[in-house]
A = this chain, B = another copy of it.
Amino acid sequence: MSIASSQTDDSRHDAALEALRALLGDRLTTTLPMREAHGRDESWHHVVPPDAVAFATSTEEVAAIMRICARHHLPVIPYGTGTSLEGHLSALKGGLSLDLSRMDQVIRVNTSDLDVQVQAGVTRRALNHYLRDTGLFFPIDPGADASLGGMAATRASGTNAVRYGTMRENVLNLTAVMADGSIVRTAQRARKSSAGYDLTRLLVGSEGTLGIITELTLRLYGVPEAISSGSVSFDNFEGAINAVIETIQCGLPVARIEFLDEVQVDACNHYSHLSLPVSPLLLLEFHGTSNAVIEQAERFGEIAAAHGGGAFTWATKTEDRNQLWEARHNALYAALALKPGKKGMITDVCVPISRLADAIAETKTDLAASSITATMVGHVGDGNFHLIMLVDPASEAELAEAALLHDRLVGRALAMEGTCTGEHGIGEGKIKFMEAEHGAGLQVMRAIKQALDPLNILNPGKILPS
């Protein structure tokens, strides 16, 4: 029996914080405001603040912190920008919030290889700002200006995924600190490899439960020669969704194809001072050569017209385009502004595209029969859509009604061979759906977690139901 395991929890906890303070000095803090700030995300979840917050500045330091925490069995919850949505940051078993935001260095841009190596705390906007003179960009865009480490940890995607894929496809390798403090580089920088198990993809989407991502190498893309954006309104959502389905099925390489229902459009009009027709809307973006962009837009115009779409409104000027996408990015805040004081319970199902119209229709019917106000937005080119259900976190009845709608929506998505979460992750909030979605696969996930984090100190209580 080790000395550590004969300690009480309290004394072990104190010893851990003492060792961390010796390592980090004033980069360890236990003040209530700082703890509360790190126990907050952008969701409706009641988040439990951690016992302390550490600010790390290097992979080696994260490893040293992890070794201390392992010795004292102190849970560690990695923190990027706090923009997650499923209670990922909640210190369910106490422990340390490990803030990586000071690891914000772009280490190396390899323009010739179209990749970049960054520390985990670099945000997607900071990266693209850094890249502005290179002719390259990183496309993954979940809306929030999240950290790239956090985006990898939740397997984020967003508006550009229909063209460029998700974090799954765009991380070439990553450096992670494992539960025992060992530092692992998951792969080389080559574009492809068959050398053993795919540790990169195992860590992408693992939400801090298998290792702490400290550095990443990401794929970059050339800034397209031409970009055009526009919007088209439809009389009803069926027309909009069927236009999307046909667009995807015919292989048109749209860069973005986003759906907003009439409730969301109305909210955006108010929040972002727009004057869009209050009816179902598709926002689109095309990337390519000047000719290709025109060809794509014309082809899409024909498809939209065939499904009852109105005139395509172009946003050719950069500022108009930015205003349109800024409004889309602020959809959550616009929705929240509909009912001040309420929080957003956000669903995130993703279904095969052939089932998308059915999934949305049944969901709309369900919603209409409830008392919940909700907007609908979607990365519909992927079959992924969100409800933002406005709930009062203090109202048990409202939470219960929204949760029931959510349960029914996930049940519907699973029956259509879809998933409970396309891009937000499981965290604490969707843990109840894991058994239904994965069946026997859940045991495989548990075995992996047990093997790589036997003390269960890496973001415990997330992803896997106990």
- A interface list, Cβ under 8 A from B: 110-115, 154-157, 161, 165-166, 168-169, 178, 182-199, 201-202, 204-206, 210, 221-222, 245, 248-251, 289, 291-292, 295, 348, 350-354, 382-384, 413-414, 417-426, 430, 433-434, 437-445, 447-448, 450-452, 463-464
Interface centre among A182, A210, A352, A425 (most CB of B within 10 A): A352
Residues from chain B with a CB closer than 8 A to the CB of A202 are: 197-198, 201-202, 448
Residues from chain B with a CB closer than 8 A to the CB of A198 are: 155, 168, 198, 201-202, 204-205
Question: Are B191 and A353 in touch, CB under 8 angstroms?
Answer: yes
Question: Are A421 and B354 in touch, CB under 8 angstroms?
Answer: no
The CA of A183 and the CA of B161, in the complex, are separated in Å by: 31
Number of copies: 2
Question: Are B205 and A420 in touch, CB under 8 angstroms?
Answer: no
Interface centre among A196, A352, A384, A441 (most CB of B within 10 A): A196
Residues from chain B with a CB closer than 8 A to the CB of A425 are: 194-195
Q: Which of B155, B295, B440, B452 contacts A182 (CB 8 A)?
A: B440
Question: Are A194 and B443 in touch, CB under 8 angstroms?
Answer: no
Residues from chain B with a CB closer than 8 A to the CB of A165 are: 169
Q: Which of B192, B350, B423, B464 contacts A384 (CB 8 A)?
A: B192
Q: Which of B185, B188, B210, B350 contacts A197 (CB 8 A)?
A: B210
The minimal Cβ–Cβ distance linking A16 to chain B, given in whole angstroms, is 24
The minimal Cβ–Cβ distance linking A37 to chain B, given in whole angstroms, is 25
Which partner residue on chain B sits nearest A451 by CB separation?
A: B451
The minimal Cβ–Cβ distance linking A47 to chain B, given in whole angstroms, is 19
The CA of A433 and the CA of B188, in the complex, are separated in Å by: 13
Question: Are A195 and B438 in touch, CB under 8 angstroms?
Answer: yes
Q: Which of B193, B295, B384 contacts A289 (CB 8 A)?
A: B295
Residues from chain B with a CB closer than 8 A to the CB of A447 are: 451-452
Question: Are A193 and B451 in touch, CB under 8 angstroms?
Answer: no
Question: Are A188 and B414 in touch, CB under 8 angstroms?
Answer: yes
Question: Are A197 and B417 in touch, CB under 8 angstroms?
Answer: no
Interface centre among A156, A198, A245 (most CB of B within 10 A): A198
Q: Which of B112, B195, B350 contacts A193 (CB 8 A)?
A: B350
Question: Are A191 and B382 in touch, CB under 8 angstroms?
Answer: yes
The CA of A357 and the CA of B428, in the complex, are separated in Å by: 49
With A190-B383, A195-B438 already in contact, 4 other A-B pairs whose C-beta atoms are closer than 8 Å = A114-B248, A169-B169, A190-B352, A194-B425
The CA of A102 and the CA of B91, in the complex, are separated in Å by: 51
Question: Are A423 and B201 in touch, CB under 8 angstroms?
Answer: no
Question: Are A448 and B353 in touch, CB under 8 angstroms?
Answer: no
Question: Are B384 and A434 in touch, CB under 8 angstroms?
Answer: no
The minimal Cβ–Cβ distance linking A256 to chain B, given in whole angstroms, is 15
Residues from chain B with a CB closer than 8 A to the CB of A188 are: 414, 417-419, 437
Q: Which of B185, B192, B413, B441 contacts A422 (CB 8 A)?
A: B192
The minimal Cβ–Cβ distance linking A182 to chain B, given in whole angstroms, is 5
Question: Are A383 and B222 in touch, CB under 8 angstroms?
Answer: no
17 A-B pairs with CB atoms under 8 Å apart are A110-B354, A114-B251, A155-B194, A186-B441, A189-B352, A190-B350, A190-B351, A191-B350, A191-B384, A194-B421, A195-B430, A195-B434, A196-B437, A197-B444, A197-B445, A222-B250, A450-B451
